[in-house]
Amino acid sequence: MKVILATDVDKLGQRGDVVIVADGYARNYLVPKGLALPTTKGSLRQAEQMRRSREEAERRRKQQAVARVSTLGAQPVYISARAGEGGRLFGSVTSSDVARAVEEQLGEAIDRHSVRLDDPIRLLGTHAVEVHLHEEVNALVNVEVIAHEEV
């Protein structure tokens, strides 16, 4: 049976997609729960409209992500940490620390899960950290880890 998805359904499709599913799955689950609509001429036009609006929203999100790349890469982010001999840190700088520093210093709110660190930073110096902003857009942030000076 052909149905039009009214919402995003895991492992099936996104809102506005026309998919073929088993009759019982459509009749007993998707349509009664409001996850899908049976296909008619009117619903096909509605599906096309949903698909266009989804694509437009995705295009806007990508444009916003591209605009944020220049802001994030414009200047380094400084993080102060206690260090011992040879520039090794007592502890480490994590993705949460990087996200917090970016928000405080650059004014750009980013999620800590968007910060791509293979391992926590454990040395003083400059480190290039990748921030995932969109499926197709990543930004490089220069993180400068400096020694914390106690007063």
What are 126-146's pLDDT values in tens digits?
Answer: 999 999 988 888 989 999 999
Q: Which domains does the chain have, with CATH numbers?
A: 2-65 (3.40.5.10), 75-147 (3.10.430.100)
What are 39-67's pLDDT values in tens digits?
Answer: 888 888 888 888 888 889 989 999 988 88
pTM of the model: 0.68
Q: Which residues have C-beta within 8 Å of that of residue 78, sequence separation ≥ 6?
A: 101, 105, 144, 146
- Whether the CB-CB separation of 107 and 125 falls below 8 Å is answered with no
